[in-house]
Each structure stands twice: as C-alpha cells, then as structure tokens.
Structure 1
C-alpha cells in the first residue's frame, strides 16, 4: 500500500480527499469523481488517497482500474474491485449473493438482473465496511465496461451511512482521444479502437451527476518548479515559460516531455526549431496525449529487446496477472531479469500485479509493437490461459493471433458471444461476433454474424455503431431476407436515435419488403412505423399515420400479440378511439411473451389510451426486469421513465425520483434519448415553478428540433397540471387548450381532464362542458374504475353534486391511484367550502393536505392548505425550535417500519443498504423525540 506523500501544487485536491476519508471514518459515505486530462495527476491523487486511508486512517482499500482491452467484457472491472471483499459474500442475502456469484463466474445460474446486482454490490460494500471503513478507488473509469460503470454509478448514488468511500478517476475527453485512421491498434484496428473509445465515454457519462473534483494543470510557479527537477541543464526563462504554457501545467507532460532531450534540443522548446515553435504558439495540432506517448515510445525503444517484448506482453494481458505473464514470457524465452530495465525506466511496477506507470505507457507499448510481435504475444497468452476457467479471454487472444480465415476460432468466438449475451453483455457479445465475422470465409455466414452483432449493438444502447456494421454487411452478396433485415435495422436505429417524422418512410419501406419474407418481422416494423407517426404527432406529415395504418392492413391477421396489437392500432388510426378501444384492451391483455416487451414504448401509451394503468404498470416492471436480465440498455430508459410515472401516480414521489436518477445513469451510457414523460409529470406534481418551467422550455425546444409533436402535447399537459396546482387557472386553461389541439394517444384524455378543471376555475363553463363531453366519448368506450372516476370528476366540476364527487373519489381509490384520488378530494372539499359546508369540507381538505404534503406535491399541498385556512382551520406550521419535518425518504422508511418491515426488507424496497436504513431511522427517532420502533406509529400520527 502506498505511503502518504505531498504532491506539488495539489493541496486543495489532497485536502478534499482527506476530508472524504474523515467523513467515511465518522460513519458517513461519500462518492467523488476526479476529472482531468491525461497526465493531470489523477492517479497520483488516488495513490495519495489510498495511502492516507490505509496508513493514517486505518481504512480498508479496494482498487480497480478500467482497461481499454476489457471495456467490452461484462462485469470485468466490477469483479476486479469486489474480489478482495468476497470473504463477506456469505453475509449478503439471497438472491443478491447468487447474482454476484453468477456475474463473477463463481457459480452457474440465470443472468443476474443489474438492479439485484447493484443492491448486492451495495450490500457487499456495507458488510465489508462494518468491519472497518472502506475506500474503493477506481482509476481510468472511462474504460470501465458498461455494466460495471452502470452498477458502480447505481451504488455511488445510494451510499449514505455505510462508512464507504467510492472515488473514480475519469480522463476528460479531448481531441487527442480519437484514433487517427492511419493508426492501427493491433487488437482490432482503428475502427475498433474508436468504437471502444466511444463506449468509454459512455461509461464516463454514466458517472455524471456525482460530486466532482476537476483536476487542472498546475499553477505557473508549481509547474516551473516541477519542470526544473527534470531539465538537463540551465534553460532560458522564456523557454521555460514557453514549455509551461505549452503543457498547460500538466504534471506528466512537464516530467516526461523533456526526458531524453538535450539542452540544445530544448533551446527553443520541445521542437528544437525556433521558427516552428513560434509558428505553433497557442496551437494544438498534435494532442498532448499523443506527444506524451511519443516520449514514452522513445524510452521504450531504448530498452533491450526482451524488455520491450515483456512490456508488450504485459500490455496485451490486461489485468496484470503476474503468474500468467511469467508463463507466457517463459514460452517466449524471456526471463524475469527483463523486467529490471523496464522498472528502471519507470515504465512499470512489478508486485502482486504488473502495473504500468500510466495508461499512456500501455498505449505507447501497443503502438510500438509490430503486427507479427502482437500476434505472437496473443498466441502464447492463449496457450497459457485456462480454457475452462477463462474461455472468453482465451478465445479473444486466439482471435488476435490468427491471420486470415479460421472457422474453428470463429466458432469459439461465437460460443463466447453466446455466453456474454446470456450474462447480459450485449456489447461484449457484439464484439465477439464482429471478430468472428472477420475470421469467417463464407460471405453469407459472415453477413449473418455481422447482422447479429449489429442487433446486439442496437440493443446495448449503441445504435451509433450500427450503420458502419451494416455498410460492411452490404459488401457481401445478400439474400432478399438479409437485405430486408439490413433495411429494417437501419430504419430501427434511425428511429431509436431520433423518433422523428423522418423515421416513418424508411420503416414503411422496410416493412413492405419484409411482408413476403418474414411476416412476423414485417408486423413489428409496421408497429414501429405507426408508433413513429404517433410520436411525430402534430409535427409529422398530415397523412403519415393513416398511410402507415392502411399499409399494415395488407398483412394477413395473426393471433400473436404483435398481430393483434397491430390490428388494434390500425383501427385506432383509421376508425377512431371508440372502434379501437375493445380491440386494444384485448390485445394488451394477450401480451405474455417477454420478447414483446421491446414494444413497451408503444404499449404503455396504448394502455393509458384505454385507461388500463394496471397494464402499463405491470408491463413497465416486466420490461425493466427483462432488459436488465438480457443487457438490453436500449429498452431500459423507456421502461424506467414509464415506471417512474406509475410510481408518481401511486404517490411515491421519492421512488419516482430515484427511478429517474437511475434512468439518467443508464441513458448516459447509451446514445438513445430518454423519454421525458416521467420527468415532466414529476416536475408538474412537485409544483416547483421555476424548475418545472425550465424543464418545459427545454423539452419544447427538443421536441421542435426533433419533430416529436407528442412531446409538445406531453409538455402542455404537464404545464396544465403545474398551473392547476399553483392555482393559476388562466395559464392552466391556455396550456390545456394547446394540449388538446391534437389527439396525441393517452395525452389527449389526460389533458381534457385538466382542461375541465382549469376552465371551471377560470370562469369558462362553456369550455369546461365541451371538454367534459369530449372526454365522455373516450371514457364511455371503456367503463373501468379509472375511466368512470375521470368522467365523474369532470361531471362534478361542471355540474357539482355530492354523488359525482364521491363516485370519483371511490373510483380512483379502486384504481389504486392515490394522487388522482387526493385531487378529487381537494376539488370536493373546495366545492363543499364554497357551498358553506365547512365541517365536511375540512375532512376532505385535511386529508388532501396531509397526503400531498407527505407525497411531496408541494403546490397542491399549499392549495389545500389555503382552502383549509379559509374554512377556519389552522394549518399546522413548524414552531420555532421544534424538530424539522421528516424528509420524503425518512417518511417512507418510517411508514415501512410501522408496517413491520425489517431493515433489510426496507433496504431492498428502497434500493438502500441496511446500514443506511438504520441511520435514517435514528434520525427519525431524534426528530420525533422517540427511542424505538414501538413509538413510531403514535409519533407519526401526532406529527
């Protein structure tokens, strides 16, 4: 473990890290992301953190580092970080323990759900920290495999009171992060490297939103002092200032770039030519990272041949497995003495693992290796890798040791792809399939492999990588079915990345081509075309929806869910809501195949269109589980956004917010836009005007830029909810009228309900009555609890009666929609007060006020509070010196505790660790002035 040391010019950063360690030792948990360019000193700061935590603070330290070669291998970095902590695995409850064991290859089993795996990792960290505080250090996080990045980000966002610190170092992307076309990393070439680097930035984006510490260049004085330690002799002050300016105070650049250069070569800066140095002043034609690599390459070239081959072998073997390396080196005829020169040159450190001084050293070694040398290194690494213990890494090495075609190695890669896909590793599976295609001679077989790889890339949330794969597929002679599959996938990717009106025609063309070749694929493609037209809405072509629906009618009927769903939607598009409603209900009820959950983006709005919130809720939950199980990141953001909306309607605002946070983390690892419906609804119901309006304006701008008219309808609905909550009824009326100007599926009827309320309160009874009647056309065709309650409330607002209000309250209760039920009680209470029935009004308004306050619906709570005051009842306010109110999360934990849940059960429900639950309960007890769970129920009732 490194010792403590002071770094030049890094006092602020070191104090931040030391404070983090103090917080962890005091029982808190902290997460932090260090961001900076290559060579800024992030690794040195992590070394300081590890040394201080271990030696001075007595913490346990677990370290991992992302490795570029392993960024496609699912769970690679997570396993590296958790391996030293697995002694605590038995303390992790099932099924979390099984999820970790399966993910790390310790036992066989079903692919673990990432949510369960995230909870398991959180629990494992908490158990390890119970023994002594734990500091987890993750270097080069931009190279984490996506699933490791997603899970660690999930854990970092939920750390609170476990005595765990989780610190990441991420390289800031820049122009020098892209591989130039003439540069070939022999592990797959420039195209593969650029794909990997794009994925790496997705991993780094996953950490966005966590606390950050930006690591910048050193101040001029510190930079000059550091530079003086490596200059070969006296250098003109102007040249020294030129070097400091050129490196922008980057510590690694200051230390490495002058190495090996004579005083003469340094006379005019690094170039050795005054005119070139002056011409390049202030310009960065060549990236700093590339220039640093060149410095490392000079030092590598000066080493003996065996030392260079040792470095190359270590660069290709990504985890620094020293016993494996020595086995490989022995086969290459290289002895341990070869490491001495590389260590003396400060390029590697040899200990329990073989570690490069900096990731750029590894990159420089790659670039220094010749193709034949790299193939030889891969060959011996494949030979010494156990085919039973590590078959996938062995297959990868074999693949890169192979020149030309080799069907046997290709078949081995296919098996690795299947294993990766079964564990949820869509990106890893795609990488194996792509390499298998390169080794396959038969053009048709190669095309099939590349098509499978392209589908996996799209499912993994990387649709931007698909077009290049499809272009390669089209170089081979294709069957009509393969050509149709190419067109379908290309159109699907265009829709995934931007579901705009431009997606409709390519999807229709692909569907028509598939009609006689693959009717099932044709149906799914027609569904996408109809869905694209629906999402385009008012910004789409006037006849796009009808044209798509009429074209789909050419297909023969099918009893499958896609067939029944397509028939129902074509009826909706051509004959209207009333004719389609029973067909939609029956189709949605028949959805029982998990593979159909990829249609959730269309299923959920259709379910709301027929007032079947239960179907929308159940399908969103199923889709989240399925997407996590198979690693389909492209499906997760949509499913999470819809699930957040369902949680919101259940009054679980904190859970909805947590789901949206996780959704943002997953979406940041993909290039697929996140549906904003859940975020819009949450902002509207929370009632924080400034925050909500900013989100509305941003969403409207994005909707117009992308041609997504349905987003305009969603935003208008959300603004109507916000304004009704705030009591700004003229603004609510304007927003609702804008929303109902186009019949967006589901959104239209939601907005009609808001329009009735806004028009009544704004003194526009005619508009309210018209909206009520338009709504009746929708609700009459359904007749379930939600529909009847919605119509009863609209009727009660236009023509008030106790019977209608009570019907609405009861109906929303039966439909398990607490938010709408409380809105109905608020409206009922307001009418009772105006009817001078104050005692009855207080009961309704009090219930609404308390419920909205607990939920976090701030505007509606204030509105109910104003009405309560108008009845003559004093609304409870906080007394000076009284305990503060419980937070939303504290309230949830307290209610679950009252219900008899254990800390472990509460933790699993709220995605927390048991220690965090215990910490929150202690805070609840302090705030309420009690000492045990037995007193909770009474204290909550009286608070």
Structure 2
C-alpha cells in the first residue's frame, strides 16, 4: 500500500516515511531565508539542482512563524506554451487577507482586476485599454508593484524560475530592481536548466536592498545517513550503507528518498553489512520519476549525443572524450560538438580529470535501461576492444564488458587475471567477488573449476566476505566437475570459513575432520586442519581431543618451513597462550620474507594479543596488538585486521578507555556483520558498557548475542563472559534462580574444556548467584576448583577475580584483605572499573568507618570518570545513607544550555524507552528528581516529547 504524497508507505505491513519528518543539514539556509523574510526589501535567489531540496526548504519557511508577513506563493510550470505572468498571478490570488485591511488603493491596481477574478471585488475597477502593448505591459507591472506595496509586509515566493515565461521573468526583474519597501522575494531555480542568469543579464539590484544567492548542495555521507534515519525512523544506519547510498545518489535528497522507496526491505538494508547492503542497493530498479526525467532529457538531444551518453552508461565509470566516442561509434570530428550538447544538457558531467560521467549511478542506470539488448551487447563489445589498448589494463572492467558482450573466453581470461591482480595486491574483496561470479558460470571446464575453487578458498580466508564464498564452496563440493584431489582442499577452506560464524562452529570442526580424510596426499593442508582443530576457543572440545590434534600439529610443525611454519605457529601459540602458558611467547618469530608469511605473522601477533588480553597481561597484549595490526594492514589481511580491532575494543573496555567506545564497537559490528565470531565479541563489549550505564534491557540483548545460550557453537571465552553478563542482570533484578542457571551453563562449558583461564568474568557472579540461592557449599568448592585449575597457569585476571571470590565467602575480618588484594591485582593490569568494584566491596565490609567513606568517594569519582553511571549512583546512594553525600565531581559548574552529565545519562535512558520510575530505580534517585531532570533536558533540547528525544538520540 502506498501514499503518493511522499509521507508514508507500507512494505510487508510496516509503515515508514518516504520524506524526512525533520529538516536535515539546512539550518543555515533556513535561517537566511527567515532573515530575508524579516528584512525588507530583500531578494533571495535560491539555487540548487533538481531534487536537492529547494521546495522542502521553502515549505519549512512557510510552515514557521513569519511574524505577520503575508506569504504569496506561485509556481512556474513546465508546459509547452506558458501563460504569461502565470506564476505571479497565482501568487497574487492569495492577496485577499492583505487587501481586507486597506481602505483605498491606487487606481492603477485596477489593471489586475480582469486577471484576478478571485479578488476582483476588493480591487479598483478595471482600466480602459491603452491600445499600446508596451504601455499596457508597463501599467500591468506598476499595478503589481502597487498592489504588493499596499499589502504591507509580504513575502513573494516563486518556485522553478527556470521554467518561467519571458513575461514572468521580466515582471520579476522589474520588481526586484525596485521592490516596495515592505516586500521580500524568494525565487528558486535550477542553474542547469537556465539560459543565462536567473533574472536576465539586465537585472540590477535596487540600492539599499538585500540581494542574496543561496546555493543548496547535496548531502555528504553523514547527511545521507541522518536523512535515512529520519525517513525510516530507525537509528543506527550503518556507515557502510550510508556510503553506498551516497555513492549511488550523489547525496541528492530526492534521489535518496526514491531509492529508499524502491528498496524492498529498507529497515533491514540500512543495518546490513557492506556486502549485503551492496547487493540490496544493486537490485534497486531506477525509480519511475527518475527514469522518466532522464528519458525526457535524452529526447531533446541529437543522435550523436545520445550515442555518447549511451557509451558512458555502458562504460559505467568516468571516461575521456576519445573513449566515449570510440565506444559510441561517433566520428571524432563530430564527437566534440556531441559531447558539448551532453554537458550543456546536464546529462553528462565533467568529473575531475577522469573524463565525463553521470551525476549519480541511478542516472547512469536509467540510461542503461533504455538501451536495447542487442545494442547494449554491441556497446560492451566495442568497450572490450577499446579498453584492450589502455595501460595499465583495466582488468576488472575488461572482465565486466566481456561477460556482458557474451565473449565467454575473454570473460574467463580477464576475470581470472583481475582476480590474480587483486590477490597479489591484497584486495580480498575484489578477488572474492570475481571468483565467485566466475565459478557461477555453468560452462567452465573441470580444470578451470579446480583452479578457481582453490583460489577462492585461499583468498576468502583473508577477507571479510564470508557468506557468499562459503555457499559457493558448498555448492562446489557436490559439483561433479570438481576433482577428487581438490575436494579436500575446498572442504578445508569452507570449514575455516564456517569456524568464523556462530552457530556453524560444530559443523566447521566436523568438516575439518572430514577434509583430513580427503587430503592424505597433502600433509601441508592436513597440518592446517589439525592446527585449527587444536584451537581451544572454538566451541567446547574436551581437553583430550585438543591434545590429540595438538600432538599432530606439533609433528607437522617439526618439519614445516616458510609460510606453513608461521601459519601453524599462529594457531599453536595462540592456543597455548589462551590456556595460560606464557613461556610460548619465546617462539614468536620476528619477521617473514614473503607476503603470505607476513599475513600469517600478523595473524600470529594478533592471536597472541587476544590471548594476553583475556589472561590479563595487558601490556604484553597491547604491544603485540599494535605490531600485528600494523603488519596486517601493510600485508593486506582484512580478516586479521578484524580480529585485532575486536581485541582492541575489548582492551579499551578493560583499561577504561570508554569515550566513544560504544560508537566504535557498533561501527565494527556493521563492518564485520558477516564474521559473527568477531561481532559476538563486540556485542560483549556493548553489553558491558550498557550494563555499566544501567541500561539493563539493552545489556541483556547484547549479551544474548554472544553465544551465551549455546557455548558449544560459539567462541568460548566470549560465551562464558556473556553468561556472566546475563547472570549479573538476573541478580540485579532479584531473579537469583535464573542467575544461578546462567552460571551453571557457563561453568559446565568451563569444566568440560578445562578453560579456567577464561573464568574471570564469571567467577564473582557465580559466587554471588550461588550464595543468593543457598548453594554456599558449591560456591566454596568452586573457589577451590578454580585455584586447582590455575595451578600451573599465568592468568592475572582470574587471580584477581579469585581474590574477590574469596572475599565474598570470607569472614568480615578476612574479607577486607581479599578485596584489597583483588583491587591491587586489577589496578596492576590495569583494569580500573573492576578495581573500583573490588574497592567498593572493601568499603562495604569497612562500613561505617571513615575509611569506608573515603573509599566510596574515590570509587564514585572513578566510576564517574569512566562513565559507569550505575555504579557511581550506587556509591553516592551508600554515602547518602551514611550521611556523607558527595557531588558527582569535584566542584560544580553551570552547564547553561548544554546537558549536564546527569541529564545526558537520563536522556540516554529516556531514548531507550525507560519510564521515570525505572530511571529513578536504576540511578538511585526519586521519581520527582528524575521528572525535574527530564523537564530541564527537554527545555535545553527544544523538544516536547519522548518521541522527539528518541528520534534525535542525544548523548548516544
């Protein structure tokens, strides 16, 4: 169901707007127009290309408070023979309210009576004809000016001046050259459709009047993102989607709106990862209005010009004039004139020094769709011949044109060569896309299928596009053309991709074992498979199984050299370090000689960093992380970069660098959406942040996406931490039994795998949950179990958590020492949030002493500095109970119209849908205090409802 008024549409039962409910990025222009309406006389020329938002801007002007100014609005129409002065007469029909205030009018105004029957009764009587057309016209011009002067303060708005007839243009020039002192004029137009200047070369502004030219530019990427969010009412439009949408629309608001209208699932697309978003946008058909507008433009162009434009549409990228002429089949001596027509008609545009192309991709697609299939194939064929002589050879373009021209052999040759070039340069995304498309061809010879399948499997494992290659490799495994000797290698690469996706890890491990049986003649590949199977964090493999595969890997590594040795070390060292054996750090190589070796060395360093951060060796982890990220970027290993950046987000959480972390983590999730193993870890970080800020429901949603509910098919340390987060939320809500159930699931995974170095986040929550349900004996046994599990391991984070657990179970006199030990261990890492939590527990034991008060004050300040508002509020609440209230910071200052930290926090909770009562409970405030904060922040933000606040998401 649709409403063609541009307000809203329904797709699959869900309504969304097709125009923005709020004005985006035009505040300065709107302010200038309002100034002109208030400052008279004034003439404002509002310039902008088609669809850039001129009409929306003037609509906002008219919808606002004009302060008693009478608006008169007229529109120039695109008709074959326009009616003279039509736009002005349309505007003057709205003069009735102003005339009602006048007692006498200049008789010359009577010249307008026959032309304005709607208000003729309020005008002087018609005047006799003069018999001289020039005199009649001059009298008419004077009549319009006198009528406008008689109306008092007035705003004359004429839209689409580029379609004005000569009479309207002359009359507007007459008015603008000597306007009444009470008149403001706003004239909108498209520069590309004007012949000359807006009011003609003869226009001269009146002395003392304001004349301004405002030019509306298309939106940048951020403007497109915010426009999309406003139209759909959906926050969190991904940066990838916004960039792709900007690329296709050139940031022109109308084209953005039409593209969103054409998307079948706009709400899903805007939050998709880059690969899926690109597929969805590529599938968008050219909106009808854009297609018809382009057809109208083409119809006015000479035949040679149309051929050049069609050549540009087929080439798809900006091209020099000579290439356009060669592909379009336009003789050189006619091509310059033809190109001039295309540029003057604003169909093609000069693009920097690259040549000529379309304003945006949808304009190019609109032209492409008008070309018949045989002519299209012929143009692609000529494009292949023309591009063969370009240096360096544009292999990707040659492959594209060869495919569309039906030149199968050339498509294969150019496509594979382009993929090889992309592989050599580390461009995994381009190589993966090309190989995926080549392998979809049903007529490929068997030996080519084998060769391309191996290339796809290898390069896909260095990139971020996971789903399409996995599905392609799965189809190839049942393709009879695939040689038996190649099948095991293809299965290996598919299995490695599956291990990166939550819910597919068990399948990936099973496929690795199956691949080993198919690769008996390839010990190097068998070694890769056993190394992957020996990694302890992929699901919940039991220790004896891991030991089995680890022994096999060691045997292979003993004879491995070069890239294979580093590849095996990357898995082996990461695995051993994750288990708490830091002596293996001595095995890290310093350098690698080949590009592949450098990629594996980057992976090794990032794996080491990941393990060290989980263990709590943050200084070592930081050093290896920076080296690994730098090497991964230099060697072209996007997947390794993703692992490193995810570890970096977790490291920032632990070390208290929370400023902007939620935004960065959310952006990474969008970027790595297909790599769900990475996304789950980022969800964990977002869960921790939301929980620290008191946003319980949001935190629970993030923790649920960590694999916590199915550790067997997840990244195990992430899933264990996710169960800890969920258990903590249940405890806070008073649901101790549910918290204990979460703990049981997490500990079952730990016990099954012997993964005690990862139990740090879960252990204190487990003790609290078991104690809350009366399972104190189990809590005590758990402490002993953790101690025994760490007997020969080096895991500072778990040792700190273990001290906290002992404090929770100890007597009052002994507990202080344990909590103090925990805090000192966390501070040494450093992990300031966890250290402050331990100090808060120490203060609770020392209450009501002076030392407890000082500890609580210090904790409140630490939590405030971090942004842990829930814990800060809890400490202040305790201080209030002790009669020792403390401010949220040292000294108070006024914030004026800016939000205070407390107001910013409440705004986030209101935007998340919390009621005043819920906010009061989370922040330990009274409902009345929250009401006052909400009223103040509404006033500061200039809004009147929670709906408006959620639309703008302040403080996020």
Place the TM-score, normalised by the shorter chain, in its bin: 0.5 to 0.7
**Aligned partner of 1:825 among 839, 863, 866:** 839
2:528 matched to 1:524? yes
Task: Map 1:13-32; keep pairs closer than 5 Å.
Answer: 19-22=24-27
1:515–1:522 CA contact under 8 A, matched in 2: yes
Counterparts of 2:322 and 2:674, CA distance in 1:
33
Task: Map 1:553-568; keep pairs closer than 5 Å.
Answer: 553-555=551-553, 556-558=555-557, 560=565, 563=568
Provide the secondary structure at the position in 2 that maps to 1:660: helix
2:762 matched to 1:751? yes
2:350–2:357 CA contact under 8 A, matched in 1: yes
1:349–1:355 CA contact under 8 A, matched in 2: yes
Q: After superposition, give the CA deviation of every residue in 1:365-413 in whole Å (9 maximum; x if it has no partner).
A: 46634575034321354157x414967656765787783546xx97776
1:523–1:562 CA contact under 8 A, matched in 2: no
Counterparts of 1:320 and 1:254, CA distance in 2:
24
The RMSD of aligned alpha carbons is: 5.8
**Aligned partner of 1:644 among 635, 640, 649:** 649
Task: Map 1:692-771; keep pairs closer than 5 Å.
Answer: 692-697=699-704, 703=710, 713-722=720-729, 732-733=739-740, 735-743=742-750, 745=755, 746-759=757-770, 765-771=776-782
Q: Name 2:548's counterpart in structure 1.
A: 550
Q: Name 2:172's counterpart in structure 1.
A: none
Q: Name 2:685's counterpart in structure 1.
A: 678
Q: After superposition, give the CA deviation of every residue in 1:403-460 in whole Å (9 maximum; x if it has no partner).
A: 3546xx9777666546545665322233456788989999646633443234434543
Q: Name 1:657's counterpart in structure 2.
A: 662
Q: What is the deviation of 1:501?
A: 2.0
Q: What is the deviation of 1:603?
A: 5.9
TM-aligned CA distance change 1:711 to 1:765, over 3 Å? same
Q: What is the deviation of 1:660?
A: 0.7
Q: Name 1:866's counterpart in structure 2.
A: 877
**Aligned partner of 1:813 among 802, 805, 827:** 827
1:721–1:732 CA contact under 8 A, matched in 2: yes
Counterparts of 1:890 and 1:156, CA distance in 2:
32
Counterparts of 1:820 and 1:525, CA distance in 2:
38
Q: What is the deviation of 1:309?
A: 4.5
Q: After superposition, give the CA deviation of every residue in 1:662-688 in whole Å (9 maximum; x if it has no partner).
A: 212312477877223323333333332
Whichever of the two has the greater Rg, that structure is 2
**Aligned partner of 1:792 among 799, 803, 806:** 803
**Aligned partner of 2:429 among 427, 430, 434:** 427
TM-aligned CA distance change 1:304 to 1:380, over 3 Å? farther
Counterparts of 1:508 and 1:173, CA distance in 2:
48
Task: Map 1:244-643; keep pairs closer than 5 Å.
Answer: 253=288, 309-321=307-319, 323-329=321-327, 333=331, 335-336=334-335, 348-349=347-348, 353-355=356-358, 358-365=363-370, 368-370=373-375, 373-382=378-387, 386-388=390-392, 393=397, 403-405=407-409, 416-417=418-419, 420-421=422-423, 425-431=427-433, 444=447, 447-466=450-469, 467-468=471-472, 471=475, 482-497=486-501, 498-514=503-519, 516-519=521-524, 521-531=525-535, 534-537=537-540, 546-547=544-545, 549-551=547-549, 553-555=551-553, 556-558=555-557, 560=565, 563=568, 581-582=580-581, 585-586=584-585, 594-598=599-603, 606-607=611-612, 610-621=615-626, 624-625=629-630, 628-629=633-634, 632-643=637-648
2:51 matched to 1:45? yes
Q: After superposition, give the CA deviation of every residue in 1:238-282 in whole Å (9 maximum; x if it has no partner).
A: xxxxxxxxxxxx99547978x9xxxxxxxxxxxxxxxxxxxxxxx
Q: After superposition, give the CA deviation of every residue in 1:439-491 in whole Å (9 maximum; x if it has no partner).
A: 99996466334432344345432223223367569868767663322111122
Q: Name 2:178's counterpart in structure 1.
A: none
**Aligned partner of 1:169 among 240, 256, 261:** 256
Counterparts of 1:344 and 1:570, CA distance in 2:
62
Q: What is the deviation of 1:818?
A: 1.3
TM-aligned CA distance change 1:615 to 1:727, over 3 Å? farther
Structure 2, unpaired ranges of 5+: 9-16, 33-47, 60-214, 226-236, 246-250, 266-271, 559-564, 592-597, 906-939, 941-956
Q: What is the deviation of 1:760?
A: 5.7
Structure 1, unpaired ranges of 5+: 1-6, 28-41, 54-131, 143-148, 158-163, 178-196, 208-214, 216-249, 260-294, 538-542, 892-926, 928-943
Q: Name 2:671's counterpart in structure 1.
A: 666
- Which piece of structure 1 moves more, 739-748 or 312-321? 739-748
Q: Name 1:32's counterpart in structure 2.
A: none
Counterparts of 2:628 and 2:255, CA distance in 1:
30
Q: What is the deviation of 1:508?
A: 1.4
2:539–2:712 CA contact under 8 A, matched in 1: no
TM-aligned CA distance change 1:570 to 1:607, over 3 Å? closer
Counterparts of 2:857 and 2:276, CA distance in 1:
50
Q: After superposition, give the CA deviation of every residue in 1:528-582 in whole Å (9 maximum; x if it has no partner).
A: 3344x85433xxxxx777446525534415264654576679889xxxx9xx643
Task: Map 1:229-244; keep pairs closer than 5 Å.
Answer: none
Provide the secondary structure at the position in 1 that maps to 2:358: strand
Counterparts of 2:623 and 2:381, CA distance in 1:
54
Counterparts of 1:788 and 1:704, CA distance in 2:
23
TM-aligned CA distance change 1:600 to 1:693, over 3 Å? farther
Q: What is the deviation of 1:698?
A: 5.8
Q: After superposition, give the CA deviation of every residue in 1:572-631 in whole Å (9 maximum; x if it has no partner).
A: 9xxxx9xx6437854886697642554799767754665444455555555555555566
Q: What is the deviation of 1:819?
A: 1.7
Q: What is the deviation of 1:517?
A: 0.9
TM-aligned CA distance change 1:48 to 1:668, over 3 Å? farther
TM-aligned CA distance change 1:141 to 1:411, over 3 Å? farther
1:534–1:710 CA contact under 8 A, matched in 2: yes
Normalising by the residue count of structure 1, what TM-score does the alignment of the two structures yield?
0.57
Counterparts of 1:493 and 1:363, CA distance in 2:
37
- Which piece of structure 1 moves more, 592-601 or 790-799? 592-601
Provide the secondary structure at the position in 1 that maps to 2:665: helix
Normalising by the residue count of structure 2, what TM-score does the alignment of the two structures yield?
0.56
TM-aligned CA distance change 1:418 to 1:174, over 3 Å? same
1:463–1:671 CA contact under 8 A, matched in 2: no
TM-aligned CA distance change 1:783 to 1:680, over 3 Å? same
Counterparts of 1:731 and 1:411, CA distance in 2:
61
Q: What is the deviation of 1:694?
A: 3.5
Q: Name 1:3's counterpart in structure 2.
A: none
Counterparts of 1:25 and 1:627, CA distance in 2:
47
Q: Name 1:240's counterpart in structure 2.
A: none
Provide the secondary structure at the position in 2 that maps to 1:827: helix
TM-aligned CA distance change 1:310 to 1:569, over 3 Å? closer
Equivalences, count = 667
